[in-house]
Structure 1
């Protein structure tokens, strides 16, 4: 069930999570197209893959434009003769509260995350369907897209949109033998490095020390490498029956997220009028309301000092 002979594209793979994905795919036998907007980061990433004994080429271009999608797929086919796996990981952040977020803040994040995922997957799927040998689409989501997060209107919208597209693609691509799944990674990254709550874990990862068990087990928070095994698995023949899923991974934890379902269903003959809702809401509906955002347990006493 190795990835020998497979070819993968990983967008945004010059560093961080994307680099970990590319390296693991190569470690399992796949040839990799590394993509980043930073030419040096892309070159360095490809060099590490070759250092592992793997094969890698680079495409230095921002995702979003259809031209980049065509270049990525074309490079895979021209360099390695085929395309089997696409991991859409590239992303940017432009965090701001709603009333301060500019049009450019919103458009930039939506263009890279949402449009970039759409254009790249569309081009890859066109090729995969024409060849007729199936394929694997793996799109990177976020807990923010699942639960929301203060100051991330643009990012939450993009990541929630990616999950919606994946569920649709799983239906549309089934007959072609192409799977589509979303991965929700949680790891020490540049984004989490600025959050005091994770300071101890991020510092440990940066020094190469073990991430404390509280983070790895209780929070499912570990290193970028902890998330990469799932990417390789979803890209393999062992996952041929896994599609339309949203799977969380981090530290020692793996989660399959539910698809949205009604938390409560109630009926009233004649429909729910304003007066009926005013009367019924406190007793019938209030307790079923859903929480928003993520909540974390208190840090153990021995980890509090690093977070303060």
Structure 2
């Protein structure tokens, strides 16, 4: 997977998943713009990439504003002459149940995830179109955006919005040779530590213990490095025909999320008033209702 002629931006890449993405892209030959909100974290990430023989520079700024997005693209062009890949990974959590979630909790998450993705992708696309050689948009979603997650109104809503934007961008940018995909990773990070039954496995991994097969295969959770391969693939020429997809990856599992489809349909001449809906519901829809939340193996969650 040769990325020697590519230049990539990875937001939120000072540590965790973002650092794994930036490191993998650099190891494959891409020049990388690292981004973090802390000077020391960003500098350490650049030093780590350079120590391994890669090329990297840093932009220290929170994503969300157009100014940060413009600074990221300008840094790529000034340092490396072009831009080929944008990976929007930056994210924060402000988890609370709905009735305890303040406006600031909601707005902060939306600003980083949704606005930060939008502004960074918009600026990258302006550069891609000016170059006229296509480009790669890789946005980081989450299973929470696909299925919902308790206490994550802000985060689930943001991640669902990101996948919706990706589908639209895939349509709008196809003629320009620009692909847009979402990756929904499941990895042992500070974000997954909030799931109670996973916390002991993450702690064990920190202590050098391998993740058991039921976690790596059935749950599909592994290390940040387990996710990085699909990022490098989507950044490469091998993925030129892959666009508009939501891809699940983690541990030993790689999968595609389906797009929403109509699953049960009924017709009533003249339309459905409330009485017609009530009569039709048990006949067509009651047995087709979708579940919510992620579904994990019962032996892990203690479910009966």
TM-score exceeds 0.5: yes
Q: 3-state DSSP class of the match of 2:57?
A: strand
Does 1:164 pair with 2:164?
Answer: yes
Aligned counterpart, 1:181? 181
Structure 1, residues 189-232: CA drift from partner, whole Å, max 9, x if none?
00122333113421232123321111001110111100000000
Displacement of 1:297: 1.2
Q: Which residue of 2 aligns with 1:34?
A: 34
Name the residue aligned to 1:120.
120
CA distance in 1, matches of 2:82, 2:241: 22
Contact in 1 for aligned 2:264/2:284 (Cα 8 Å): no
Matched, 1:196 2:196: yes
* Preserved CA contact (<8 Å) 2:95 2:152: yes
Deviations 1:97-134 (A, max 9, x none): 11111111111100000000000000000011011011
Deviation track 1:141-191 (CA, whole Å, cap 9, x = no partner) reads: 001110111111111111110000000000111111110000000010001
Single out whichever of 42-51 and 114-123 deviates more from structure 2. 42-51
Q: Which runs of 5+ in 1 are unaligned?
A: none
Question: Counterpart in 1 of 2:64?
Answer: 64
**How big is each residue's C-alpha offset from its partner over 1:232-276, in whole Å with a ceiling of 9 and x where there is no partner?**
000000000000010000000011111100011111112111111
What does residue 140 of structure 1 align with? 140
CA distance in 2, matches of 1:277, 1:34: 53
Gaps of 5+ in 2: none
RMSD, matched Cα: 1.3
Q: Give the superposition deviation at 1:96.
A: 1.1
Structure 1 residues 274-296: Cα deviation after superposition (integer angstroms, max 9, x where no partner):
11111221222101111111121
Query: CA–CA distance in 1 between the matches of 2:131 and 2:272?
Result: 52
Contact 2:105 2:154 in 1 (8 A): yes
Aligned to 1:255: 255
- Tell me, yes or no, if the aligned pair for 1:201 and 1:222 is still in contact at 8 Å: no
Secondary structure, in 3 states, of the residue corresponding to 2:298?
A: coil
Taking the TM superposition and a 5 Å limit, the aligned residue runs for 1:1-308 are 1-299=1-299
